[in-house]
Amino acid sequence: MPKEETGLSLDGQGKPLWVSLELTYRCPLKCSWCNNPLDFEDYGSRELTTEEWKQALREVRELGALQLGFTGGEPLLREDLEELVAYADSLGFYTNLITSGIGLTEERLLALKAAGLKHVQLSLQATKGELTDALVGARAHALKLEAARLIKAHNFPMVLNVPIFRQNIGEVDAMIEWAVALGIEYIEFANIQYYNWALMNRDELMPSLEQIKAAEAVVNAWRAKLGNTMTIYFVIPDYYEGRPKACMNGWGAIHLTLAPDGVAMPCQEARVIPGLEFISVRDQPLGWIWHESPLFRKYRGLDWLPEPCSSCSEKEKDFGGCRCQALLLTGDAGNTDPACSRSPLHGVVRDAVAVSEKPLRFRKPLVKRSAGAVSTAFMEA
């Protein structure tokens, strides 16, 4: 399988090129592959206020960032979303809304457009209503389709984000056909990464290699048919590639995430790593956190790399892979990402893949993202 490439190696020159503002972890959906923390409900009372988010936006802009995404959870649950979009626009940001579409009425969309919103990324899981609703644990399909129609009717550039796993990988052809009919310019089929809720459900979610090959063939056929009229991005899971992805283009290189409580992180998953000090913008200037904090300096660059990464000719391509994945699969965030076939711990990935290839398996129910679904003992294990 060819590896999906952008052809670009981004150098932020010490600046965060992309900033994710996780305004809230609240969400009306219960997706079993969510990358929000397992204890997401504990953050509700600690969300930054409107004025605190505005201060964070000023500090992010001073760092040189130009593009940001309002995300969550579901960012539409923040009543001040339009105010924050308008403020970000006044600072010169290119603003993106990353949404499930639930709560995106025409009135709200027009208000966001008036505020300066430039781009929308909408998630959709299937073309079949019963499948979408079963996967997200809510009656959401019709609302998502209406959100997509409104986004295009009001001439927003749009990315359709389709998380891919065993249950919906057969929807690729129908999804592209539907997107073409609506006039969507960009569709991303993102084979999910296995963190947090997705890791808990990995055995049930992971597609087989044959399923991925079949879906990729469908994508390539549509690419040939459509030419430049639509960009179709198909992200192959690194469990099958033999090499890890350059996670966030390297730790603390170009990406900055701000959690609902203002904690700044190199990626949205970093909080799973024990022993690191996570600092909120309430407590320290963001410029210091980005440039000087032990958290952002911990795995930045190449000097920290262990063997076999430190002597690998590909280290400047993948930067040792994902620290969170290394932690979750091997118990040590400093290890080589086990998705790499050169890792001495690659066996844990081979074992996971072997489970997905078994034709007859006992089907376990997916653990839905919901308050209290995971015990404290599990999270501390």
- Phi, psi (degrees; rounded to nearest 5) at 122: -115, 135
**Which has the closest alpha carbon to 133: 199, 125, 354, 259?**
125
309 is in an annotated binding site: no
247 is in an annotated binding site: no
In whole angstroms, give the CA distance from residue 156 to residue 268.
Answer: 26
Q: Where are the beta strands (DSSP E) in the chain?
A: 18-22, 67-71, 94-99, 119-123, 158-164, 186-191, 231-235, 255-258, 264-265
322 is in an annotated binding site: no
Q: What is the C-alpha R_g of the chain?
A: 20
DSSP secondary structure of 340-360: STTSTTTHHHHHHHHHHH-SS
In whole angstroms, give the CA distance from residue 60 to residue 364.
Answer: 43
In whole angstroms, give the CA distance from residue 278 to residue 272.
Answer: 11
Give Cα separations from 311 to 14, 308, 317, 326, 341 (angstroms).
24, 6, 13, 18, 15
- Phi, psi (degrees; rounded to nearest 5) at 21: -100, 100
| Secondary structure class of 301 (helix, strand, coil) | coil
Q: Which residues contribute to the annotated binding site?
A: 27, 31, 34
What residues form the annotated binding site for [4Fe-4S] cluster? Answer: 27, 31, 34
